[in-house]
Amino acid sequence: MGLSELEDRIVAAVDAIGPSVASVESLKVGRWRGPSPFATPGQATAIVWERSGYLLTNQHVVDGATALRVHLADGRELPGEVVGGDAVTDVALVKVDGVEIPPARLGDSDKLRVGQVVLAVGHALGLPGGPTVSTGVVSALGRPLLGSDFIFEGLVQTDAAINPGNSGGPLLDLSGSVIGINTAMMPYAQGVGFAIPIHAAQRITDELRRRGRVIRPWVGVQVAELSPELARTHGLVPGSGLLIAEVVPRSPAHRAGLRPGDVLTRIGPFEVHRVRELIESLSKFPVGSDVTVGVQRRGHRFDATVPLEETPEVPVARR
């Protein structure tokens, strides 16, 4: 592909997404050195998800907001209402009434390749005059990112510039299809930003549309993958399971008799060697069901029955 053709494809992709990118202004009330409240405005981005007025953005954008104003690409400004949000994936669904707006075209995030050219679009820094476009590549796939007390899993890492105000905006491929939702940038790094894969966001959004929240099963353990170093320290076999570092008091795991130092080897019929496998395995069981887990303790293997509960709410990571 020549430079001229690449430029044409970038311009066409930006033109295609333009009508489906909105600016979101949030108003959050806080306090400063006294009892009187004050309001702080925030600026971010949203993607038109459905023609009937549903928009997708980040949960940290709408968390704690007392009011939302949505600025559409055609110049209309409308109040927005939060339909639901999910702090674990940082996805939120917002609704504006009385409009029909062109939705974004979705791509296939499962087919992304490291090195693929991508575009980040959003209202960076809240600058006037429409959204900002930056170019880069997919730097890595399946990245974890530490939140306040949990980990965002499976993120797309990119070196396309993502700045404050880009949150909730689209990460595009060269066809103009959305393959990710921009969610975080690292202020102390150069060229390191993250996006939620669009397939993950789509699953979450469908549930937010139905219920207003995401219901996940919960065991109540903190685990670590058995790297060679960690396995050697504990006298275990590398990759043989997940080391339980902590058991939450009064959690399902605690009631099932699991202890720190145990190795979790299986959830139902699914072997677990990585944290992502644990999350994916648990998602296959409904809240309220009993699941049989494989445990290794001091060389002995046994099964335990864990009654799954709904995951407690987690704090929203501030970005």
Q: Which of 23, 26, 60, 139 is flagged as catalytic?
A: 60
| Helix/strand/coil for 185 | strand
Greatest alpha-carbon pair distance for the chain in Å reads 66
**Can you tell me the distance from the alpha carbon of 69 to that of 149, in angstroms, rounded to the nearest whole number?**
30
- Known catalytic residue at 234: no
Q: Containing H/E element for 9?
A: helix 3-17
- Confirm if 126 and 165 have CB atoms less than 8 A apart: yes
Place of tokens 């644990």: 278
The catalytic residue among 90, 159, 173, 262 is 90
For residue 16, how many other CB atoms are within 10 A of its CB? Answer: 16
CB atoms within 10 A of CB 148: 10
- Bridge-based pairing of strands 117-122 and 217-218 is unpaired
Residue 13 and residue 107: Cα distance in Å, rounded? Answer: 12
**Whether residue 167 lies in the annotated active site:** yes
To the query of whether residue 134 is one of the catalytic residues in this protein, the response is: no
Catalytic site residue from 23, 26, 167, 251: 167
**Strand (E) or helix (H) holding 120:** strand 117-122
Spell out a b/e string for 264-280, using b for 16 or more CB atoms within 10 Å of the CB, else e: bbbbeeeebbeeeebbe
Report d(CA 264, CA 293) in Å as an integer.
7
CA distance 213 to 192: 30
Which amino acids are annotated catalytic?
60, 90, 167
